[in-house]
């Protein structure tokens, strides 16, 4: 009713605007008495409609506020990837409900505009990226949907969304498992339908090569609607194919074999250090060969590995310094890039946000001094401090920091600014070594041999963070300036 009268109000004002000459006719003026009564009642209806919308908006607000009650007390410390994913989904759906109501409101303070300018609303691409991150976690750590949703479950619609992202990435087994998870959680409130899921399940099973499973779900779909000819054709085709084909991979069970040493290391399966070799490694307090700054506060050095030589410095950065570094970096973080064809580019192999701090930042000077003292290297040609935070499934696939250029990155110094509950190790696939993040410590290694050649053993990767929040800061140190600090060698072997 209100809507109809609103429409009349609009028509009315349009008539006025098109300029009927009321003043030249008394008859028309007398009509205006009626029109005025109508105008005022239309205006009253409009106000009612606005109030109605306001009431609805208030109840929507209340509902949205209720949903935030389950949030962690410290939102910056969100550790559960599924909870993070749910938050993204929720924020976007909050935004869509707010948008729906504010767009309808003709109020002069257009909330929509204000939100549009100030709010940071996850876009569909963000949700797809987060779902993709969850899937890559599952692939690497061999996790089923019920493993990854132990703490936070996904509703049928969100699970179906993750499944469809896996499907679009041709990851049919994970897609299948998510659709199955979704099917088991369908309720009367789900917008996803049983038919939709059955079709998806059948398609995923077919693409995975598991025809009996594809037939099973097609049959189920057909039983729901025996008049559906398309499903009939599909079912016949699958039966025909099944009779011809022998192989029948099990779509319900994930393959637990790691395809390479990077994955195996990230999963904690192999680590050379369990061998005898590690016992030869040492741990000591160093004063940097008599460095006066270290005489009273020697650095705690631990040799993590010998080839490449990886040194861990314990308690080298304080919690307060870490807090300051995070605080400076937070507003400046942006998607990390990799070096490709001579320039930076966003890559799926590197999922994190990062920032290079300014060189006039006092923290940079402090950190430089700390690294110079610990390593004995010159920081004059080092890059600015690079702070990184990893998101859902955040990782950095195997790479070498040295770029094989003149004045290369001779060494890397990596601060761990958080502990990571599960995942997030720094692994060296060639050497077979995994180094676990430990807040306040740092690791250091050379990327180049003494003869200037790139050390292939220094190739490393950041494993995906399965549970937790990974913050690191690293400093890339260059060759120039180290001539007297780390004399080069002509030997092939150094």
Number of residues that bind ligand NAG (CB under 6 A): 7
* Pairwise CA distance, residues 314 & 301, whole Å: 6
**According to CB under 6 A, which one of 25, 147, 259, 340 is a site residue for ligand NAG?**
147
Task: Provide the CB-side half-sphere exposure for 272 (13 A, CA).
Answer: 18
Stretch that binds ligand NAG, among 48-56, 86-94, 140-148, 232-240 (CB under 6 A): 140-148
Neighbouring C-beta atoms of residue 286, cutoff 10 Å? 16
Give, for 30, the enclosing helix (H) or strand (E): helix 26-67
Asked if residue 324 binds ligand NAG (CB under 6 A), the reply is yes
Asked if residue 270 binds ligand NAG (CB under 6 A), the reply is no
Q: State in angstroms the smallest separation of the CB of 343 from ligand NAG.
A: 34
Stretch that binds ligand NAG, among 48-56, 236-244, 318-326, 358-366 (CB under 6 A): 318-326
Picking from 297, 292, 347, the residue whose alpha carbon sits closest to that of residue 317 is 297
As given in the structure block, the two tokens for residue 285 are 């307090």
* Pairwise CA distance, residues 79 & 468, whole Å: 4
Strand, coil or helix: what is 416? Answer: strand
* Pairwise CA distance, residues 406 & 9, whole Å: 74
**According to CB under 6 A, which one of 120, 320, 334, 491 is a site residue for ligand NAG?**
320
Which residues, 6 or more positions from 211, have their beta carbon under 8 angstroms from its beta carbon?
A: 205, 238, 241, 242, 245, 248
Q: Which is nearer to ligand NAG, 236 or 319 (CB)?
A: 319
Asked if residue 184 binds ligand NAG (CB under 6 A), the reply is no
Q: State in angstroms the smallest separation of the CB of 322 from ligand NAG.
A: 9
Asked if residue 323 binds ligand NAG (CB under 6 A), the reply is yes
Stretch that binds ligand NAG, among 84-92, 321-329, 347-355, 444-452 (CB under 6 A): 321-329
Strand, coil or helix: what is 422? Answer: strand
Asked if residue 253 binds ligand NAG (CB under 6 A), the reply is no
Which 194-213 residues touch ligand NAG, going by CB under 6 A? none
Picking from 205, 227, 208, the residue whose alpha carbon sits closest to that of residue 218 is 205
Q: State in angstroms the smallest separation of the CB of 419 from ligand NAG.
A: 18
**According to CB under 6 A, which one of 12, 22, 95, 144 is a site residue for ligand NAG?**
144
Stretch that binds ligand NAG, among 100-108, 130-138, 317-325, 334-342 (CB under 6 A): 317-325
Mutual orientation of helices 156-168 and 81-104 as an angle, nearest 10°?
110
Residues that bind ligand NAG (CB under 6 A): 144, 146-147, 320, 323-324, 327
């Amino acid at each position: 009713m209100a809507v109809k009268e609103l429409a009349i109000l609009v028509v009315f004002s349009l008539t006025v605007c098109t300029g009927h000459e009321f003043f030249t006719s008394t008859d028309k003026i007398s009509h205006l008495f009626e029109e005025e009564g109508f105008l005022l009642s239309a205006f009253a209806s409009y106000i009612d409609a606005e109030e109605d919308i306001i009431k609805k908006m208030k109840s929507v607000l209340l509902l949205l506020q209720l949903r935030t009650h389950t949030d962690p007390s410290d939102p910056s410390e969100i550790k559960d990837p599924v909870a993070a994913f749910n938050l993204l989904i929720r924020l976007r759906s909050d935004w869509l409900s707010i948008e729906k109501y504010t767009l309808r409101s003709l109020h002069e303070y257009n909330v929509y505009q204000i939100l549009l300018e100030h709010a940071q609303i996850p876009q569909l691409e963000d949700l797809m990226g987060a779902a993709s991150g969850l899937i890559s976690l599952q692939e690497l750590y061999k996790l089923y949907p019920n493993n990854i949703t132990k703490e936070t479950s996904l509703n049928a619609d969100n699970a179906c969304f993750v499944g469809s992202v896996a499907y679009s990435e041709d990851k049919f087994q994970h897609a299948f498992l998510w659709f199955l998870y979704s099917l088991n959680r369908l309720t009367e409130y789900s917008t996803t339908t049983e038919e939709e899921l059955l079709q998806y399940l059948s398609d995923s099973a077919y693409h995975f090569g598991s025809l009996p499973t594809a037939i099973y779900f097609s049959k189920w779909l057909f039983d729901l609607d025996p008049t559906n000819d398309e499903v009939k054709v599909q079912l016949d085709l699958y039966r025909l194919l099944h009779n011809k084909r022998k192989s029948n991979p099990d779509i319900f069970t994930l393959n637990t074999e790691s395809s390479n040493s990077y994955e195996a290391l990230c999963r904690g399966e192999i680590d050379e250090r369990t061998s005898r070799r590690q016992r030869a490694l040492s741990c000591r307090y160093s004063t940097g060969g008599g460095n006066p700054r270290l005489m009273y506060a020697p650095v705690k050095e631990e040799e993590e590995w010998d080839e490449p030589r990886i040194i861990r410095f314990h308690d080298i950065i304080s919690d307060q310094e870490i807090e300051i570094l995070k605080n400076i970096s937070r507003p400046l973080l942006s998607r990390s890039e990799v070096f490709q064809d001579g320039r930076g580019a966003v890559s799926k192999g590197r999922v994190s946000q990062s920032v290079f701090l300014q060189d006039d930042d006092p923290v940079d000077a402090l950190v430089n001094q700390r690294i110079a003292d610990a390593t004995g290297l010159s920081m004059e040609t080092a890059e600015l401090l690079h702070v990184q935070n990893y998101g859902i499934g955040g990782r950095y696939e195997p790479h070498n920091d040295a770029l094989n250029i003149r004045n290369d990155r001779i060494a890397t110094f990596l601060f761990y600014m958080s502990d990571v509950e599960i995942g997030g190790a720094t692994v060296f696939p060639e050497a077979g070594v995994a180094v676990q993040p430990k807040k306040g410590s740092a690791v250091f290694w050379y990327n180049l041999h003494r003869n200037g050649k790139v050390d292939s053993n220094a190739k490393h990767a950041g494993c995906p963070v399965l549970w937790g929040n990974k913050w690191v800061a690293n400093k890339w140190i260059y060759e120039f300036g180290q001539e007297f600090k780390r004399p080069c060698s002509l030997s092939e072997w150094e």
